[in-house]
Amino acid sequence: MGREIWKGIVFFLAAIWLAGCTNAQENNHRKNSGFPPDIPQGFVVINDTKHNMEAGHFRWEIKKGFDTEIVQTDAASPGQIAERFDEIVVPPETEMGVDIEGEPQWTVYLWSENGREKQIPIHHDVLTAPSQAGHYIYEVFATWPDGEVSYTFVLKVD
Protein backbone atom coordinates (compact mmCIF):
# COMPACT_ATOMS: atom_id res chain seq x y z
CA MET A 1 0.00 0.00 0.00
CA GLY A 2 2.86 2.39 0.78
CA ARG A 3 4.20 1.88 -2.73
CA GLU A 4 0.84 2.86 -4.27
CA ILE A 5 0.85 6.13 -2.33
CA TRP A 6 4.37 6.95 -3.55
CA LYS A 7 3.38 6.17 -7.13
CA GLY A 8 0.40 8.51 -6.74
CA ILE A 9 2.56 11.30 -5.34
CA VAL A 10 5.15 10.91 -8.12
CA PHE A 11 2.40 10.88 -10.75
CA PHE A 12 0.80 14.01 -9.22
CA LEU A 13 4.12 15.91 -9.12
CA ALA A 14 4.93 14.90 -12.71
CA ALA A 15 1.54 16.17 -13.85
CA ILE A 16 2.09 19.53 -12.13
CA TRP A 17 5.60 19.82 -13.61
CA LEU A 18 4.31 19.08 -17.12
CA ALA A 19 1.50 21.60 -16.75
CA GLY A 20 4.02 24.25 -15.70
CA CYS A 21 6.24 23.50 -18.69
CA THR A 22 3.26 23.70 -21.02
CA ASN A 23 2.29 27.15 -19.71
CA ALA A 24 5.89 28.38 -20.01
CA GLN A 25 6.04 27.12 -23.60
CA GLU A 26 2.70 28.79 -24.36
CA ASN A 27 3.91 32.11 -22.92
CA ASN A 28 7.13 31.89 -24.96
CA HIS A 29 5.03 31.09 -28.04
CA ARG A 30 2.92 34.23 -27.43
CA LYS A 31 6.06 36.36 -27.21
CA ASN A 32 7.43 34.85 -30.42
CA SER A 33 4.15 34.65 -32.35
CA GLY A 34 3.56 38.40 -32.44
CA PHE A 35 0.28 38.25 -30.56
CA PRO A 36 -0.91 40.64 -29.58
CA PRO A 37 0.67 42.70 -32.35
CA ASP A 38 2.16 46.13 -31.77
CA ILE A 39 -0.42 48.85 -32.31
CA PRO A 40 -0.07 50.06 -35.90
CA GLN A 41 0.97 53.69 -36.22
CA GLY A 42 -1.67 56.07 -37.48
CA PHE A 43 -1.28 59.45 -39.14
CA VAL A 44 -3.53 62.19 -40.43
CA VAL A 45 -1.97 63.59 -43.61
CA ILE A 46 -2.39 67.31 -44.29
CA ASN A 47 -0.63 68.98 -47.24
CA ASP A 48 1.76 66.00 -47.57
CA THR A 49 2.75 66.27 -43.88
CA LYS A 50 2.07 63.32 -41.58
CA HIS A 51 0.80 64.16 -38.10
CA ASN A 52 0.66 61.43 -35.45
CA MET A 53 -2.69 60.25 -34.20
CA GLU A 54 -2.81 58.87 -30.67
CA ALA A 55 -4.07 55.33 -30.24
CA GLY A 56 -6.64 54.70 -27.53
CA HIS A 57 -8.88 51.64 -27.23
CA PHE A 58 -7.76 48.52 -29.10
CA ARG A 59 -8.94 44.93 -29.41
CA TRP A 60 -7.20 41.97 -31.08
CA GLU A 61 -8.25 38.35 -31.33
CA ILE A 62 -6.62 35.21 -32.61
CA LYS A 63 -8.25 31.84 -33.19
CA LYS A 64 -6.37 28.69 -32.15
CA GLY A 65 -8.38 25.66 -33.13
CA PHE A 66 -11.58 25.84 -31.11
CA ASP A 67 -10.20 28.55 -28.80
CA THR A 68 -10.16 32.31 -29.29
CA GLU A 69 -7.71 34.53 -27.44
CA ILE A 70 -8.71 38.19 -27.06
CA VAL A 71 -6.64 41.13 -25.87
CA GLN A 72 -8.41 44.44 -25.32
CA THR A 73 -7.87 47.71 -23.47
CA ASP A 74 -10.14 50.02 -21.59
CA ALA A 75 -8.40 53.23 -22.66
CA ALA A 76 -9.22 56.91 -22.37
CA SER A 77 -11.95 58.21 -24.67
CA PRO A 78 -11.07 60.50 -27.59
CA GLY A 79 -12.39 63.40 -25.51
CA GLN A 80 -9.99 62.54 -22.68
CA ILE A 81 -7.08 61.98 -25.08
CA ALA A 82 -7.78 65.37 -26.69
CA GLU A 83 -7.10 67.12 -23.38
CA ARG A 84 -3.39 66.27 -23.68
CA PHE A 85 -3.07 66.20 -27.49
CA ASP A 86 -1.35 69.02 -29.40
CA GLU A 87 -3.90 70.37 -31.84
CA ILE A 88 -3.12 70.67 -35.54
CA VAL A 89 -3.85 74.16 -36.87
CA VAL A 90 -5.45 74.24 -40.33
CA PRO A 91 -7.37 76.73 -42.46
CA PRO A 92 -11.10 76.10 -43.05
CA GLU A 93 -12.05 73.28 -45.44
CA THR A 94 -8.56 71.76 -45.52
CA GLU A 95 -8.50 68.30 -47.13
CA MET A 96 -6.96 65.52 -45.05
CA GLY A 97 -6.09 61.88 -45.54
CA VAL A 98 -5.50 59.02 -43.13
CA ASP A 99 -2.49 56.71 -43.25
CA ILE A 100 -2.50 53.66 -40.96
CA GLU A 101 -0.14 50.68 -41.17
CA GLY A 102 -1.77 47.55 -42.53
CA GLU A 103 -4.35 49.46 -44.59
CA PRO A 104 -7.41 48.82 -42.43
CA GLN A 105 -10.97 49.89 -43.12
CA TRP A 106 -11.61 53.13 -41.25
CA THR A 107 -14.43 55.44 -40.23
CA VAL A 108 -14.12 58.97 -38.84
CA TYR A 109 -16.27 60.45 -36.08
CA LEU A 110 -16.52 63.96 -34.68
CA TRP A 111 -16.53 64.15 -30.88
CA SER A 112 -17.88 66.79 -28.51
CA GLU A 113 -17.93 67.09 -24.73
CA ASN A 114 -21.00 64.81 -24.84
CA GLY A 115 -19.18 61.97 -26.62
CA ARG A 116 -19.31 60.69 -30.18
CA GLU A 117 -21.38 63.22 -32.09
CA LYS A 118 -21.55 62.14 -35.74
CA GLN A 119 -19.85 60.21 -38.50
CA ILE A 120 -17.82 62.36 -40.89
CA PRO A 121 -18.32 61.79 -44.63
CA ILE A 122 -15.30 60.47 -46.50
CA HIS A 123 -14.93 60.94 -50.26
CA HIS A 124 -12.15 59.00 -52.04
CA ASP A 125 -10.32 58.52 -48.71
CA VAL A 126 -10.33 62.28 -48.06
CA LEU A 127 -12.09 64.16 -45.29
CA THR A 128 -12.50 67.92 -45.11
CA ALA A 129 -12.00 70.21 -42.11
CA PRO A 130 -15.01 72.28 -41.08
CA SER A 131 -15.59 75.70 -42.63
CA GLN A 132 -16.10 77.37 -39.25
CA ALA A 133 -13.27 78.26 -36.89
CA GLY A 134 -13.09 76.15 -33.77
CA HIS A 135 -11.60 73.23 -31.89
CA TYR A 136 -12.54 69.77 -33.27
CA ILE A 137 -11.86 66.29 -31.87
CA TYR A 138 -11.77 63.42 -34.37
CA GLU A 139 -11.77 59.68 -33.79
CA VAL A 140 -10.53 57.43 -36.57
CA PHE A 141 -11.86 53.93 -35.89
CA ALA A 142 -9.75 51.41 -37.82
CA THR A 143 -10.64 47.73 -38.29
CA TRP A 144 -8.58 44.80 -39.54
CA PRO A 145 -9.78 41.18 -39.86
CA ASP A 146 -8.37 40.36 -36.39
CA GLY A 147 -8.63 43.65 -34.55
CA GLU A 148 -9.56 47.28 -34.15
CA VAL A 149 -7.93 50.47 -32.89
CA SER A 150 -9.39 53.88 -32.05
CA TYR A 151 -7.11 56.82 -32.95
CA THR A 152 -7.58 60.46 -31.96
CA PHE A 153 -6.42 63.75 -33.43
CA VAL A 154 -7.43 67.33 -32.72
CA LEU A 155 -7.86 70.17 -35.22
CA LYS A 156 -7.93 73.86 -34.61
CA VAL A 157 -9.58 75.50 -37.60
CA ASP A 158 -8.32 79.07 -37.74
Domain parsing of the chain, residue ranges: 1-33, 42-157
pLDDT above 90 covers what percent of the chain? 72
Whether 12 shows a pLDDT value over 90: the answer reads no
Query: What are the Cα distances from residue 6, in Å, to 10, 15, 17, 20, 54?
Result: 6, 14, 16, 21, 59
pTM tops 0.85, yes or no = no
pLDDT of residue 17: 59
pLDDT tens, 26-54?
444 445 467 788 999 999 999 999 999 99
Q: For 53-89, how does the pLDDT look when each residue is reduced to its tens digit (9 = 90+)?
A: 999 999 999 988 899 999 999 899 999 999 999 999 9
Q: Which fold has domain 42-157?
A: Immunoglobulin-like (2.60.40)
Res 49: pLDDT: 97
Asked whether the beta carbons of 59 and 147 are under 8 A apart, the reply is yes
